[in-house]
Amino acid sequence: MTSNISSSQHYLDSARAEFIRLKALGDKTFVQLSEPDFHFKPDAESNSIALIIQHICGNMISRWTDFLATDGEKPTRNRDKEFEERVQNKVEILESWETGWKVFIDTLNSLTADDMMKIVTIRGEEHTVIQAINRQLSHYGYHIGQIVYLAKHIRSAEWKTLSIAKNRSEEFNQQMKEKSE
């Protein structure tokens, strides 16, 4: 890190990059899925990928609309409904995904280093902007991990890995080493 970049700016840039990486994991997962795959539930107590997407998007729109000015749990949000199956096709599900991410990324991109220690509320609880970002980084990572795991289960042998393939770590490490030389 160069001395002309503040630690707050460095943190914000790093968080943005991690969120973009998480979205890309979801995007790369979705291209491997058929429409019925989005609605598959391994059992009655589990959530489908479509439900997880509904929840993430509901959260993003609630948390990141008027982020610095209003409580992140908007009165218009009905979190429980996010976990009720809707009749949606793949296009509609992915439009919802993109809508949630647009609200979130637009707000994240509007933040500056000077905003990092400002106080925001989520369900009446005070957080610094850094704490709120960390909370969402953990939350979205958790759910996107669920999506990837469920998709890998659904696709089984047809799954195209999004990271280092099994039994390929040494090969991957060698490629990384060669890249850096």
Q: What is the 3-state secondary structure (H, E, C) of 79-106?
A: HHHHHCCCCCCHHHHHHHHHHHHHHHHH
Q: Token match 């107590």: residue?
A: 45
The predicted pLDDT at position 171 comes to: 80
Q: Please return the burial class of 60, using the count of CB atoms within 10 Å of its CB with bins 0-12, 13-18 and 19+.
A: buried
What's the mean pLDDT in 22-42? 97
The predicted pLDDT at position 167 comes to: 76
pLDDT band at 1 (very low <50, low <70, confident <90, very high): very low
87 pLDDT above the threshold of 70: yes
What's the mean pLDDT in 161-167? 80
pLDDT band at 4 (very low <50, low <70, confident <90, very high): low
pTM: 0.89
Q: Under a CB-based contact definition with an 8 Å cutoff, are residues 54 and 96 in contact?
A: yes
The predicted pLDDT at position 177 comes to: 79
The predicted pLDDT at position 77 comes to: 95
Q: Under CATH, what is the fold of the domain 7-180?
A: Four Helix Bundle (Hemerythrin (Met), subunit A) (1.20.120)
Q: Is 19 left (phi over 0), alpha (psi -120 to 50) or beta?
A: alpha
As a whole number of Å, the end-to-end CA separation of the chain is: 21
Instruction: Among 64-78, 107-121, 165-179, name the one with the lowest average pLDDT.
Output: 165-179
